[in-house]
Amino acid sequence: MHTVSSADGTTIAYNRAGSGPTVVFVPGAFNDAATCAPLAEQLQGRYTVVCPDRRGRGHSGDAIAPAEAATYTVQREIEDLDAVIAAEGGEALVFGFSSGAILALRAGVAGSRITRLALYEPPFAIGGLARSNQDDLPERLAALIADGRRGEAVGVMQTEGIGLPAELVEQIRQSPMFPQLEAVAQTVVYDAMITRSPNVPTPRMARLDIETLVLSSGESWPRLREAAKALPEYLANARYVDVPGGADHGIPAEATAKALDAFFRA
């Protein structure tokens, strides 16, 4: 993997392959570089594809100590993305998935060198997606992390932050994958902050002139799809594309790559 240092000294690791215009992939909650790898592989024949581990995941470090998780700001991860873009040529096409899509959009608003944005099912509280009234969720999660209650933080994020049924969360807790989720538990604070209530597009997002493609799948969770379809109405220069496949908030790699290639090359 390649590495770069972010503004606060955090080492951000990423995979790079292919050649052509640079596309950086920003995954969502509980995700790492592997999440978007199948999609990146579909595009690497025409693009330089860059799949980072967001801070606190995979091979990336994190300058924020567990006891200080509450000090996180979204600007930290915007700086992480900026460091990767700077290391890979100074500007990039950016694909964001789920909460990573909201992070990517915030980066665009903050002035990151993004030439075009593709947002896959960003979970904004619009278009029928339930709004959370739990303004204190990031702080409660940070307190759990500071107390060393990582497994509990994972469960709270899954039920309250993502909205998974309690019985499914319990099944996950008993599964072999749960230790992997505990290992990145601190990062739930970060995604909870990115999607913090009221979690609606801001006026600055509405004025953003970066060309933006919003994607969703007809087989995804209905309210997420409704939110994605509604988002272009809130943005100055965005349109929506429906892709086939992608059950349960998954990314259908081949169909999504085809839509991205058409958008990036237009």
pTM summary value: 0.96
Beta bridge partners of 243: 217
* Rounded (10°) CA dihedral 195, 197, 201, 202: -110
Mean pLDDT of 94-103: 98
- Give the tens place of pLDDT for each residue, 140-196: 999 999 999 999 999 999 999 988 899 999 999 999 999 999 999 999 999 999 999
Q: Which of 32, 25, 2 is nearest to 15 (CA)?
A: 2
Secondary structure of residue 180 in the 3-state scheme: helix
Q: Which of 78, 38, 71 is nearest to 54 (CA)?
A: 78
Mean pLDDT of 118-139: 85
Q: How does the average pLDDT of the chain come out, rounded? A: 95
Q: Which domains does the chain possess? A: 2-130+198-265 (3.40.50.1820), 137-192 (no CATH)
Going by pLDDT thresholds of 50, 70 and 90, the confidence category of residue 130 is low
- Give the tens place of pLDDT for each residue, 43-79: 999 999 999 999 999 999 999 999 999 999 999 999 9
Max Cα-Cα span within the chain: 50
Give me the helices (H) in the chain, please: 37-43, 74-87, 99-110, 137-146, 150-156, 166-173, 178-183, 187-194, 203-206, 222-230, 253-265
Going by pLDDT thresholds of 50, 70 and 90, the confidence category of residue 40 is very high
Q: Please answer whether residues 119 and 105 qualify as being in contact, where contact means their C-beta atoms are separated by less than 8 angstroms.
A: yes
